[in-house]
Amino acid sequence: MKLFPNRILMMEDNPDDVIITKRVIGSSSKECEIEVASSGKEGMEKLEKWNFDCLLLDHRLPDTNALEFLKKVRQSHPHLPVIILTGLHDERLLTGALKLGAINFLTKDKIDGLCDVILQAVISGRKSSFLDKQEYVYAKLIESMGEGLFALDMQEVIVFVNPRITEMLSYFESELLGQSVFSIIKKNEIKRWTEEYQKVRQGKREAFEIDLIGKTKEEIPVLINLTPLFDDKSGFNGSLGLVADLSEPKKMEMRLRENERLTIMSQIAGEAVHEIRNPLSVIRTGLYLLKSVLPDDEKTKRRLQQIDEAVTRTTSYLEDLLSLSRPPIFNVKMIDIKTIIEQSLEEVPPYLLSNIMVINKELPEGLFIEADPDRLKQVFVNIIKNSCEIMKAEGRLEISASRDETEEGDFVFIEFADVGYGIPVENLERIFDPFFTTKSKGTGLGLAICKRIVEAHQGKIEVESRLGSGAKFTVKLPVKRNGE
């Protein structure tokens, strides 16, 4: 029988009653061990020696009675299920036993129902034990919750927090307690909070998304479930807030949207390149013919050159579109980072570097990785050109490379740090987006392609910047690519 006790102590001095009881219990559970004590003294000794799941107590024993013995049991075993067995139905005994915490009262003429009574007694005893420890249990539940929890008083002051919410916000418990809830809410979200909380004050449960602000000023998107709390007169007395961190789900959603957008963009780019390439070929062929038949004067030459340059720019743009619309094809080999950086600098137009001091800082010899050299040069040249164009006048570009072991593996870090104007905060998150550019003649594809190439090498490209203090691009590449 499920939940049936493993060990029972039976207080009984009549051998016949013991035999009958054992037979009844044995018919339901062969595994239950029954210890017998024929006196109160022997019973207490066995209770001190072993743990029992249930106590069957005869109403009369040679040296005591059920009520007296039950008083002693309750002092040392407050939650032990006790069933009183008696030959007669005595209301006074029943009342006294129940007051002392007996679970049930069974007359011996109804011994056949003993197993069901024992099972119910065990369940009731376990429930009693749990309720007695409920504060401890509730505390442990709150501490181990995967979601944040806080409580507010009537003035919306934080009066309780659990460990998860402190971890989420990077605060210590003492730093949050006593603070207004507005201290952890993003400023432009306070109006939203106020509107939703007004409904909570009216006794409604509310759930809504909002941005919280951590100790490091990081914005944390969360889902808050607010439950109103009431006093004994049913008056509003604060609220309890359950907080789910949406940071990872939001990032995943953004990645899915980005992948969907790139897929659509790739389809459009592929079709556009196909439709435009043919007319460009016709124009380039026409230019060749025009050069042979038109007058050889400067004005005509200049016009034809402008057309030729426009066709070249358009062709280059189409190649960029193709780079986004199809998976990169790599020719991977072991390459020296120092050599690739030096070759990249040679491919940058000289006029861009004319007023720029380039410092190859800490470029160690023999820093080899497995990569496609041409693709990496494409990345490095693009970053260097962007830095030079932003600095325009006299500036400085520091290039460094180093190797380091991280938790993710062995990586080479290549850094490009300039002293330009820097990148506004609102642009940092979008700088690698396709078609995003702040240049008047830019296409916004350069850094998007760089990101795709680096990630296809199982690496990462990151940017740090502070307005007025320049920017630093870091390309992180694995020394050995997985699966190669």
In a domain, 264, yes or no: yes
DSSP string, 402-456: EEEEETTEEEEEEEEEE-SS---HHHHTTTTSTT---SSS--S-HHHHHHHHHHH
In a domain, 473, yes or no: yes
Q: Given this model, what pLDDT does residue 427 score?
A: 79
C-beta separation of 418 from 470 below 8 A? yes
Q: Same domain for 116 and 153?
A: no
Q: Given this model, what pLDDT does residue 125 score?
A: 66
pTM (two decimals): 0.44
Nearest to 166 by CA among 145, 188, 194, 193: 145
- Count structural domains, the chain: 4
Q: Same domain for 340 and 320?
A: no
Q: H-helix or E-strand containing 148?
A: strand 148-152
Low-confidence ranges of the chain (pLDDT < 70): 1-5, 87-104, 108-109, 123-140, 259, 261-263, 265-266, 268-270, 272-274, 313, 316-317, 319-329, 361-364, 392-393, 435-436, 438-444, 480-484
Residue 263 phi, psi dihedral angles, 5° rounding: -65, -45
Q: Given this model, what pLDDT does residue 280 score?
A: 78
Domain final residue pick, 85, 103, 132:
132
Q: Same domain for 232 and 188?
A: yes
Dihedral of the alpha carbons of 425, 348, 359, 457, in degrees to the nearest 10:
70
In a domain, 444, yes or no: yes
Helices assigned H by DSSP within 58-162: 66-76, 91-99, 114-132, 134-143
In a domain, 253, yes or no: no
Q: Same domain for 303 and 398?
A: no
Q: Given this model, what pLDDT does residue 317 score?
A: 64
Q: Same domain for 91 and 161?
A: no
Q: Given this model, what pLDDT does residue 1 score?
A: 40
Q: Given this model, what pLDDT does residue 484 score?
A: 44
Residue 234: left (phi > 0), alpha (psi -120 to 50), or beta? left
Q: Given this model, what pLDDT does residue 78 score?
A: 80
Q: Same domain for 181 and 126?
A: no
Instruction: Output the six-digit token pair for 154.
Output: 């009537």
Domain final residue pick, 308, 325, 342:
325
Q: H-helix or E-strand containing 343?
A: helix 337-347
In a domain, 193, yes or no: yes
Q: Same domain for 91 and 228?
A: no
Domain final residue pick, 245, 270, 304:
245
- Beta strand 148-152 with 64-65 is unpaired
Q: Which domain holds residue 447?
A: 333-478
In a domain, 252, yes or no: no
Q: Same domain for 395 and 297?
A: no
Query: CATH code at 346?
Result: 3.30.565.10
Q: Same domain for 128 and 150?
A: no
pLDDT digit string, tens, across residues 146-195: 899 999 988 899 888 888 999 999 998 888 888 899 999 999 999 999 99
In a domain, 388, yes or no: yes
Q: Same domain for 21 and 118?
A: yes
Q: Same domain for 228 and 306?
A: no
| Eight-state DSSP code of residue 111 | G
Q: Same domain for 76 and 164?
A: no
Helix/strand/coil for 360: strand
Q: Given this model, what pLDDT does residue 483 score?
A: 45
CB count within 10 Å of CB 458 equals 19
Nearest to 103 by CA among 89, 86, 84, 88: 84
Q: Given this model, what pLDDT does residue 239 score?
A: 92
In a domain, 137, yes or no: no
Cα–chain-centroid distance for residue 451?
Answer: 25
Q: Given this model, what pLDDT does residue 165 score?
A: 92
Query: CATH code at 237?
Result: 3.30.450.20
